[in-house]
Amino acid sequence: MKKIAIIGSSGQLGTDLSRELGQRDAYELHTLDHGDIECADRQSVEKALFSIAPDIVLNCAAFVRVDESEDDPDSAFRVNALGAGYVARACSEIDAAAVYISTDYVFDGTRGTPYSEEDPPNPLNVYAISKLAGEFLVRNFCKSHFIVRSSGLYGTGGNQKGPANFIETMLSLAKNESPIRVVDDQILTPTFTKDLARAIVGLIDTDAYGTYHVTNSGQCSWYEFGKAVFEISGLKPDYGPVSSKEYGTKALRPSYSALDNSRVHQLGIAPLRGWRDALAQFFELRSRA
Ligand SMILES: NC(=O)c1ccc[n+]([C@@H]2O[C@H](COP(=O)([O-])OP(=O)(O)OC[C@H]3O[C@@H](n4cnc5c(N)ncnc54)[C@H](OP(=O)(O)O)[C@@H]3O)[C@@H](O)[C@H]2O)c1
């Protein structure tokens, strides 16, 4: 039986990975939330991981606040880069495989067709730069690594401190009377963490270490994503599109960041379902929670 540790286990992806791995007899699961480990502290990382001595470490912890990262690069780099490096170095010392979750935002969006793992990253914002730095540190410190880039994550688990993701933000805005405007010139693939978790478990069942793109299928703008949220939920707010320029955020984001998943398919991992089907199931599961 393989020992597996999940860091950031109470986040969106961490929760679904815990659920997915909890159903499998092949793994002894150790969940580590922020109270159990501080990734930005090398001693804390080593204490937690050396005492478990896992065979695989899934690092789902991150500083994910994209706009805040512009003014607070220290926090972003401490967790997403240095922290990822501490985890990967500890993995290497105990011969564990390291799994690091990265982002579609490492790309600049100019390609216009889905990005492959071979395409050169060119991040546009501090958050994405810190995640890319994390990728380099993971590759440098731990030979046995999987780097999984995904996009627009949402799930039924995660942080209860505020709206956890785009969907919850939309639902919460719809409670007010104010108009809701969402950018229609940034294309991505929204990805359900339940589907991503299953694919990651398929990936770690292999020893085909490397960098992989894993998202649901298809693509849409954030505006279309929000439209689908309101269609499925039956809410009818004053909803409309806006350009990124008009909307204006602190951090620049790529105008196109769909990811080509063919490399992971070549390992025998089935393509993830279309983003609309995944969204429909999210709502089903959410209503039961
Ligand atoms: N969200 C997206 O749209 C998206 C898109 C592409 C890639 N990703 C990547 O996917 C991964 C998972 O994202 P997610 O949406 O599941 O994130 P999430 O819901 O914010 O979960 C992150 C978890 O990590 C914990 N954490 C944060 N800082 C930590 C630290 N310094 N030490 C230990 N634990 C810490 C958080 O705990 P507290 O909340 O208690 O601090 C939280 O439980 C991240 O690597 C993220 O960069 C996310």
Give the pLDDT confidence score for residue 288 in this predicted structure.
86
Atom of ligand 1 nearest to the CA of 37: 33
| Protein residues with CB under 6 Å of any ligand 1 atom | 8, 10-14, 33-34, 37-40, 60-64, 79, 83, 101, 103, 131, 150-153, 158-159
The reply to whether 256 belongs to the active site is no
Task: Please give the model's pTM, rounded to 2 decimal places.
Answer: 0.97
Of 30, 31, 36, 21, nearest to 3 by C-alpha is 30
Residue type, 208: A
Report strand pairing: 187-188 vs 220-221: antiparallel
Cα gap 205→192, rounded to integer Å? 21
pLDDT at 289: 76
Q: What is the pLDDT of residue 163?
A: 61
Closest CA to 283 of 215, 242, 230: 230
The total number of residues written for the chain in this structure: 289
3-state secondary structure of 69: helix
Provide the β-strand partners of residue 57: 5, 98
Q: Per residue of the chain (289 residues), what is the pLDDT tens digit?
A: 999 999 999 999 999 999 999 999 899 999 999 999 999 999 999 999 999 999 999 999 999 999 999 999 999 999 999 999 999 999 999 999 999 999 999 999 999 999 999 999 999 999 999 999 999 999 999 999 999 999 999 999 986 555 679 999 999 999 998 999 999 999 999 999 999 999 999 999 999 999 999 999 999 999 999 999 999 999 999 999 999 999 999 999 999 999 999 999 999 999 999 999 999 999 999 988 7
Instruction: For residues 147 and 99, give the distance between their C-alpha atoms in angstroms, rounded to a whole number.
Output: 6
